[in-house]
């Protein structure tokens, strides 16, 4: 069984390949987060898509506490190592690392930051999950769908800093997952969005894709 729990903003806890994976844990200073860093009982792997505070913020603290592997693009991983994280994997966009039975591939993302941004595909060999990170819509999302065939896509819909509901619905049509889960909305005023509007757009743009709208702390099981 694969479990996807939305922790709020772009943060997810994914139970896959007998690993607990955190993606972009922004918890301590996020009033809408489902948990705080010291409330997480176990973490095996942390993936950070880019080094903005609302993605990188709590990753170092959690990785050090749990002895988790920290996976990110090279420069972001090096920054974590400089702050005392011991198990660091610094790869780059297009690269893949395997940690026991879990495959982690970094994909392109279009976003501004002081290091390369990325998305990530997690796979246990049977199921793939695509977290797009912070990004605009781009045509090569179609290639991500064709190559990695993610069953679930986790897409930002907040607009302003990332693509909004319309662009994310078109992204869904390009990727062609079975399920799409929106995130990166509602945390700050500039990214307030109605996820139900996104669901309506997906029904028009990507017929047959199931939209799962989670509240922080809720889970979806595959």
Structure tokens at 197: 């509007």
Question: Is 125 inside a domain boundary?
Answer: yes
CATH number at residue 114: 3.60.15.10
Residue among 161, 91, 96, 165 nearest 133 (CA)? 161
Beta pairing class for 3-8 and 219-221: antiparallel
Residue among 162, 151, 156, 166 nearest 198 (CA)? 166
pTM of the model: 0.98
pLDDT value at position 105?
A: 98
Question: Is 168 inside a domain boundary?
Answer: yes
Question: Is 136 inside a domain boundary?
Answer: yes
Question: Is 222 inside a domain boundary?
Answer: no
Structure tokens at 141: 């999302």
The boundaries of the domain holding residue 16 are: 3-215
Structure tokens at 76: 């972001």
Please state the domain count of the chain: 1
Question: Is 221 inside a domain boundary?
Answer: no
Beta pairing class for 179-183 and 210-211: parallel
Mind listing the pLDDT tens digit of every residue in the chain (222 residues)? Answer: 999 999 999 999 999 999 999 999 999 999 999 999 999 999 999 999 999 999 999 999 999 999 999 999 999 999 999 999 999 999 999 999 999 999 999 999 999 999 899 999 999 999 999 999 999 999 999 999 999 999 999 999 999 999 999 999 999 999 999 999 999 999 999 999 999 999 999 999 999 999 999 999 999 999
The DSSP secondary structure of 52-107, one letter per residue, reads SHHHHTTHHHHHHHHT-EEEEEHHHHHHHHHTT-SSEEEE-TT-EEEETTEEEEEE
pLDDT value at position 70?
A: 98
């Amino acid at each position: 069984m694969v479990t996807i729990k939305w922790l709020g903003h772009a943060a997810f806890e994914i139970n896959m390949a007998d690993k607990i994976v955190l993606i972009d844990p922004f918890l301590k200073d996020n009033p809408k987060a489902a948990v705080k860093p010291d409330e997480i009982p176990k973490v095996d792997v942390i993936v950070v898509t880019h080094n903005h505070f609302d993605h990188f913020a709590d990753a170092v603290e959690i990785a050090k506490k749990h002895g988790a592997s920290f996976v990110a693009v090279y420069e972001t991983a090096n920054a974590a190592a400089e702050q005392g994280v011991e198990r660091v994997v610094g790869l780059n966009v297009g690269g893949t690392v395997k940690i026991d039975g879990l495959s982690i591939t970094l994909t392109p993302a279009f976003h501004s930051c002081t290091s390369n941004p990325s998305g990530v595909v997690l796979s246990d060999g049977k199921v793939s999950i695509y977290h797009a990170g912070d990004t605009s819509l781009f045509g090569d999302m179609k290639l991500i769908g064709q190559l990695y065939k993610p069953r679930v896509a986790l897409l930002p819909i907040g607009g302003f800093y990332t693509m909004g509901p319309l662009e994310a619905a078109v992204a869904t049509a390009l990727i062609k997952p079975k399920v799409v889960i929106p995130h990166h909305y509602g945390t700050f005023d500039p990214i307030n969005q109605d996820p139900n509007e996104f669901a309506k757009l997906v029904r028009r743009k990507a017929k047959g894709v199931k939209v799962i709208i989670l509240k922080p702390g809720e889970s979806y099981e595959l």
